[in-house]
A and B are shown apart, each in its own frame.
Chain A
Amino acid sequence: MNGPFAFTLALGDDALVAAQRLAEWTTRAPEMEEDIALANIALDQLGAARLLLSYAGELEGAGRDEDALAFLRDDREFRNCLLVELPNDDFAVTMAKLLVLSAYQVPLYTALADCPDERLAAIGGKARKESAYHLDHAALWVKRLGDGTEESHRRMQAGVDQIWPYADELFAAWPEAPVDPATLRSDFDHTVSAVLAEATLTVPEVGWTPVGGRDGVHTEHLSYLLAEMQVLHRAHPGARW
């Protein structure tokens, strides 16, 4: 696969799978305001996914549109990072995931806004403003739970510990990509360590760091997510409102 297509597809898949996972909280969030917030963040991710996948389809030049890419690929063809496909689990785990994802997407989209590819630059310029709100939201919760009660602190630290190994994959070197994710790591570390410090949480030791998402080698969780996301489209091919 050529560089810009593979990169655009990977970013689009990150956003799409994150949107689907976040949307699972709808009607199940701890409070009404949070329900609306998570649905809104999911909608932003879906918006970015649509732009990225539409453009990926054009770059590929094989006639696949956003729907073909979203609904008619199997798990081995998805290029999202493992982080976004992990189950929502405890609310603290979801917030740890959102913190890591948005602390990666903010500098990523910001760098993309200045890249020579005009389409990617436009998407980056748009999405970074939305990601800044996601980062703010996740940071507020991580601080509130981390610096909260003994129980909320314990669960927030457990959430961060559980998610932390999956952060490494986001910054794997990709020199031929329009933005090399490896260049974003220091920005990410700076943002996240400041949030964790204020939340009285400990930055976990780096040990086992699973990878594979960018090569289509996923956890078992992705195929269940895709089955639910794709079933309607596949059961009624070409159906319209």
Chain B
Amino acid sequence: MAAVVDPEIRVVTIDDLGILRSVQEDPATGRVVVTITPTYTGCPAMDVIRADIRRALAAAGHPDAEVRTVHSPAWSTDWISDVGRAMLAAAGIAPPAPVRRDGVVPLTLAVRCPRCGSPETEQLSRFGSTACKALWRCRSCSEPFDHVKAL
């Protein structure tokens, strides 16, 4: 179950992405209830994620598991675990910076190139190949790369 990966970023599990909020078993019936939250409201991967969770639980002996979707509190990139961040970077996707909080002086941190590590990078587009990513380019090695934008 915890091995279910994001269908659009297949190197990170839904647990490490912070999409998986809770897994509970009803002590009376033994029925498993899984609660998840979408990264973005329009995330088209949610149906596949629900199906993958049901399939994984059915294989583990819980064919009647229920998957609930909640929207509050809203998902934040701060919920991506350290393991998740490392896996993103290893796959060539620059992980997000911490989300700016109210009252803190706005500071734009350099996004390091996940291939060569150079901080000499530039944003090509605020929107990328999936809803949660922006498109960047490294000025040192010239490679374009995805960056999970802070949300």
- A127 on the B face (CB < 8 A): yes
Residues of A within 8 A of B125 (CB): 33-34, 36-37
Across the interface, do A47 and B41 meet the contact criterion of CB distance under 8 Å?
Answer: yes
Within 8 A of B (CB), among A37-59: 37, 39-41, 43-48, 50-51
Interface residue range, chain A: 20 to 34
Across the interface, do B131 and A44 meet the contact criterion of CB distance under 8 Å?
Answer: yes
Assembly CA distance A213 to B127 (angstroms): 30
Within 8 A of B (CB), among A122-147: 122-123, 125-127, 129-130, 133, 136-137
B128 in complex: contacting residue of A36, A48, A130, CB < 8 Å: A36
Q: Which residue of A lies closest to B151 (CB)?
A: A129
- A121 on the B face (CB < 8 A): yes
Least distance between A33 CB and chain B CB atoms (Å): 4
Least distance between B144 CB and chain A CB atoms (Å): 11
Least distance between B139 CB and chain A CB atoms (Å): 17
Give the interface segment out of B25-33, B59-67, B69-77, B89-97.
Answer: B69-77
Residues of B within 8 A of A37 (CB): 125-127
Q: Which residue of B lies closest to A122 (CB)?
A: B72
Assembly CA distance A39 to B63 (angstroms): 37
From DSSP, what is the main secondary structure of chain B's interface residues? loop
Residues of A within 8 A of B127 (CB): 33, 36-37, 39-41, 133, 137
Within 8 A of B (CB), among A103-162: 118, 121-123, 125-127, 129-130, 133, 136-137
A47 in complex: contacting residue of B43, B75, B126, CB < 8 Å: B43
Residues of A within 8 A of B70 (CB): 122
Which one of A46, A118, A130 has the greatest number of beta carbons of chain B within 10 Å?
A: A130
Residues of B within 8 A of A47 (CB): 38, 40-43
Residues of A within 8 A of B74 (CB): 122, 125-126, 129
- B129 on the A face (CB < 8 A): yes
Across the interface, do B126 and A136 meet the contact criterion of CB distance under 8 Å?
Answer: yes
Within 8 A of A (CB), among B92-130: 124-129
Q: Which residue of B lies closest to A45 (CB)?
A: B42
- B19 on the A face (CB < 8 A): no
Known: A33-B127, A44-B40, A44-B41. 10 other contacts (CB 8 A): A34-B125, A36-B129, A43-B40, A44-B131, A45-B42, A48-B41, A123-B71, A126-B74, A129-B74, A133-B126
Jot down 18 A-B pairs with beta carbons below 8 A, ordered by A. A33-B124, A33-B125, A36-B127, A36-B129, A37-B125, A40-B127, A40-B131, A43-B42, A44-B42, A47-B40, A48-B41, A51-B41, A122-B71, A123-B41, A125-B72, A126-B71, A129-B151, A136-B126
By Cβ-Cβ distance, the 10 closest A-B pairs, closest first, are A47-B42, A47-B41, A122-B72, A33-B125, A37-B127, A43-B42, A40-B127, A122-B71, A126-B74, A125-B74
**Interface residue ranges, B against A (CB under 8 Å):** 38, 40-44, 70-75, 124-129, 131, 135, 149, 151
**Interface residue ranges, A against B (CB under 8 Å):** 33-34, 36-37, 39-41, 43-48, 50-51, 118, 121-123, 125-127, 129-130, 133, 136-137
